Structure 1
C-alpha cells in the first residue's frame, strides 16, 4: 500500500470529482460542492488530502481541515490543538487501507502539535455533517481506532451542538413542494405589520453577514458570506418596520441544493418570521431547477418535518478523538 497526497497525485478537477463520488457513494458531490471543499475553503491546501493506493488504485481518503484563516479571538481557545477530518472514506472492502491511512494521518497531526481531532463537524466547508451511518466500514475503523461520538454540549465552532454526535439531513422532493396556505396568510399578516421579505445576493450579502455574526456567531456568518460568492445563492431577509433585520435564511451557499443556515432575532421569535423565511428560501432552491433539496445538519425535527415534499432523512455520526 502506498500513501500519497492530492498534490503528489496531481488529479484534475474532473478526476477528483469522480473519485469523490466513487469513494463517498452515499453522498452526491457536484462541482459547486467540490469547490466548497477545496478552493473556496480559505484553509485548503492540496497536500491536506491524503490517499491510500493499492496497485495504483485509490482505496481510501482522509481529508484534513486545519484552521489557518484568521478567526475571532474568542474562538482561538476553542480551536487550540484541534484538527478536523472533513472527509473520511474508502471503497468497498478497504477497511485495512483506511486503518493504516488514519494511523499515518494521526501520527502527522501529533508531530504538528495537534491534540484532538473531530470527524467531520467542519462547517461551512463540509462534505456532510459527519460520516453517513451507512458507511459501516468507515465507522467500524473509526471505533477500532478509539474514536467516540462527539458529546460536548457546545461544539468547537461555537454553535449549539444539536444532538451532539448524532444529526440528520432532511431531503425534500421539490416536485411535491409547495407553500401552504397558512404560510401565505402568515406572510400577508406580517407584511401588514410592516415586515418586508427581500432577496439579497452578491456584495450586498455582507451587511446581512455582519448582522448574523453579531447574533449567531462566526460560523453562520462565514456560511452567509459564502452565499454572496455563488451566482445561484443568496439570503432571504426579513426586515422590520424601519429597515432593521429580523431574520435571515440562506440558500445555495455550499452547493445549489442546500438550504441554511436560518435564524431570527430573539425578540422576533414566535411570530412566524422563521416559517416564512424557510419557505421563501426553499422556493428559491426550487426555482434554481433543483429536484431534491437538502436541509442539512439539524436537530429541529418538528420545524422541518411538515415541509411538503419531505421524502427522506439521512443520519450522521460526528466523531472525536484525543491524540495526546
Structure 2
C-alpha cells in the first residue's frame, strides 16, 4: 500500500539513495543534501512530500517558499518553487508523481502562493531547471502538469590546461590601466562594496553567494574587482559556490561600463588565476546562451555542456 507523508527526521539517507538511483547525472551526498536543503533557512519539512510503499521510499517532491527575504524585506509572497523531484523507476506513470505534486501545490497554496517555478530557486538551487536531454520523462511530466517554459539557460565548461593570456586582451588591459582603470584581487576594505554592488546591480543571490563563500573560507584572492578611479565597476570570482574551486562565478560588469572590454579582461584574469592554482577546468551552471555574457564566454572558449528549462505554472 502506497502512503504519503512529509519529511521526518531520519529520512535523509533514504532520500539521498533514491535521488542517486533516479538522477544519475546529478548525484547527491548526505553532506550536500544537509547544506543545500536541511540547513536552508527556508526549509519546511511539510513542503518535502514523500511516497512510501510498505516502508520503501519510492518518490519525493520538494516544495519551498521564502521565509527569509533574499534582499531587503521582499518575501516574494506570490512565488513558490519546486527545486527537485524524483520517483522510483518501477512506480512511474502510476500516479505517484501526480499525488506528490498535488500535495506540493496544496502546501504552497496554503501559504498563499499563486505560482510555482521549476526550478529557479535561490539560494541553494541544485540545477537551474529541468535538463530535457538527461531527463526527458521529467520534462514531459512537467508539461503535462501545466508548467510552461520561461527561458532556457545553459551550463558551460572550459578546459584551462595550457591557458595563457591573449595578447590582444593584455594590450586592452594596459590601455584601460592608462585611462584610470585598475584590476586587482579584493581586500577586506572592498567586501561591503562588492557585496552591495553584486546585490543591487545584478542579483541579491550573488551578494549572498559572495558573503557566504567568504564565511566558508573563500580566499579573497579568488575575488577579482575592477575600478574606474575609486568607483567599483565590475567583479568576478571562482570557488564561491559550495567551495568548489573550478566553479566560476558570479561575474558582472556595471551596465554603464559595458562595451569597454572590462568583462573580457576580468574573465581572462580570473582564468589565469585559476590556472595558477593548478586548476584544469572552469565551469558554471547558468547563463543565457544568446546574452552578452553568453557570447563573451563562447569567444573565450567555453562550450555548452547542458541546457535547462526554467518552467512556471499558475496555481
TM-score, with length taken from structure 1? 0.79
- Work out whether 1:215 is the aligned partner of 2:201: yes
Q: How far apart are the structure 1 equivalents of 2:25 and 2:118?
A: 17
Q: How far apart are the structure 2 equivalents of 1:205 and 1:35?
A: 28
Task: Give, in angstroms, the shift of residue 260 of structure 1.
Answer: 2.0
RMSD: 3.0
Aligned match of 2:269? 280
Task: Give, in angstroms, the shift of residue 246 of structure 1.
Answer: 1.4
Give unpaired runs (5+ residues) of structure 1: 151-164
- Work out whether 1:147 is the aligned partner of 2:144: no
Q: How far apart are the structure 1 equivalents of 2:216 and 2:306?
A: 25
Q: How far apart are the structure 2 equivalents of 1:138 and 1:169?
A: 19
CA gap 1:75/1:194 in 2 versus in 1, 3 angstroms: same
CA gap 1:41/1:275 in 2 versus in 1, 3 angstroms: farther
| Correspondence 1:30-179 to 2 at 5 A | 34=33, 37-38=36-37, 41-72=40-71, 75-76=74-75, 79-95=76-92, 96=94, 97-133=96-132, 134-150=134-150, 165-175=151-161, 177-179=163-165
Larger radius of gyration: 2
- Work out whether 1:2 is the aligned partner of 2:3: yes
TM-score, with length taken from structure 2? 0.82
Q: How far apart are the structure 2 equivalents of 1:207 and 1:40?
A: 27
Structure 1, residues 53-105: CA drift from partner, whole Å, max 9, x if none? 335443333222311113556845xx222111112233435434322211221
Q: How far apart are the structure 2 equivalents of 1:18 and 1:183?
A: 47
CA gap 1:280/1:178 in 2 versus in 1, 3 angstroms: same
Instruction: Indicate the SS of the match to 2:267.
Output: helix
Q: How far apart are the structure 2 equivalents of 1:38 and 1:30?
A: 12
CA gap 1:18/1:148 in 2 versus in 1, 3 angstroms: same
Q: How far apart are the structure 2 equivalents of 1:40 and 1:284?
A: 32
Q: How far apart are the structure 1 equivalents of 2:29 and 2:165?
A: 27
Task: Give, in angstroms, the shift of residue 177 of structure 1.
Answer: 4.5
Structure 1, residues 202-241: CA drift from partner, whole Å, max 9, x if none? 8963331112233224233223323322324652111222
2:59/2:88 contact within 8 Å kept: yes
Instruction: Indicate the SS of the match to 2:106.
Output: helix
User: Would you say how many aligned residue pairs link Structure 1 and Structure 2?
Assistant: 303
Task: Give, in angstroms, the shift of residue 142 of structure 1.
Answer: 1.2
1:227/1:235 contact within 8 Å kept: no
- Work out whether 1:250 is the aligned partner of 2:237: yes
Quick one: which of 235, 240, 248 aligns to 2:228?
240
Q: How far apart are the structure 2 equivalents of 1:19 and 1:289?
A: 35
Quick one: which of 269, 282, 298 aligns to 1:293?
282
Q: How far apart are the structure 1 equivalents of 2:275 and 2:165?
A: 11
